[in-house]
Amino acid sequence: MANIYKNEMFALSNTGVNLLYSTPADTRTIVKTLQTTNLGANTVVTVTANNTITSYNAAIEEIATNTAVNMLKGPLILEESQTLSLSAGTANVISGVLSVLEINRNEQ
């Protein structure tokens, strides 16, 4: 079983839903943190976990100007083909790092 630690950096340039991460085939992912920074006006940020059919809100938080917050209060498990998305109420103010551990099930 291969374990791969990854960081996905992001900067949201719009207020739409932005895909942050897709779980590869034959892989399970443990999302450790979603460190999010607001360098602009106060805004509401929403984290959405998606399977192939439905989206589910995993976190909603108002982030004050010039602050950082971990949007996830505990680990989040994603299975094959599931994704994690982020949206913000204000464009061009939210950036951050998503930290994950990918566990490849082919190499067991």
Under CATH, what is the fold of the domain 2-107? Answer: Jelly Rolls (2.60.120)
Segments making up each domain of the chain, as ranges: 2-107
Question: E strands along the chain, which residues?
Answer: 2-11, 18-22, 27-38, 43-50, 55-63, 67-70, 76-78, 83-88, 94-104
pLDDT-derived band at 108, boundaries 50, 70, 90: low
Model confidence, pTM = 0.91
Q: How far is CA 83 from the centre of its chain?
A: 8
Other Cβ atoms closer than 10 A to 106 = 9
pLDDT digits (tens, 9 = 90+) for 5-59: 999 999 999 999 999 999 999 999 999 999 999 999 999 999 999 998 999 999 9
pLDDT for residue 90: 96
Residues 53-68, mean pLDDT to the nearest whole number:
96
pLDDT-derived band at 1, boundaries 50, 70, 90: low
